[in-house]
Amino acid sequence: MTTVSVTHESRPFNLDVGKTRRVNAKVTTATAYKEGDLLALSAANVLTQAEDESNWDVICGATLTAEQATAAAANGTEIPVYNGGVFNIEAVSIAGTALATSKYDAARAKASKNNIELSKV
């Protein structure tokens, strides 16, 4: 009999629920969103994926496919985003791709300016 070892890596996202601040914003059509994505927020309260780890405003609080986002945008439906709190730097992403460790400092510097804390667990 062969024994297979299975491991599961968990990356907690929200590290201090008591400090979390959340608001809602509109989505862009044909854009997929993943919880933990770093997002830019326009003056019209519309979210887009951050260009890079140093150019973002809020953290996505929901996961939507591009099709779901298109429907939400057409209906004016908003999704939750985090504008305050303590989050795991290893669990944030840009367009669903986790940040490389070399990008952590820039993301954390921007987080400090946004009154968000990105911590390493």
CATH class of 17-119: mainly beta
- What six digits make up the tokens of 45? 């309260």
Among 18-22, 32-36, 73-77, 91-95, the least confident range: 18-22
> What local confidence, expressed as pLDDT, does residue 10 receive?
56
Task: Tell me: pLDDT of 7 over 90.
Answer: no
Task: Tell me: pLDDT of 34 over 70.
Answer: yes
Task: Tell me: pLDDT of 29 over 90.
Answer: yes
> What local confidence, expressed as pLDDT, does residue 6 receive?
47
Task: Tell me: pLDDT of 42 over 90.
Answer: yes
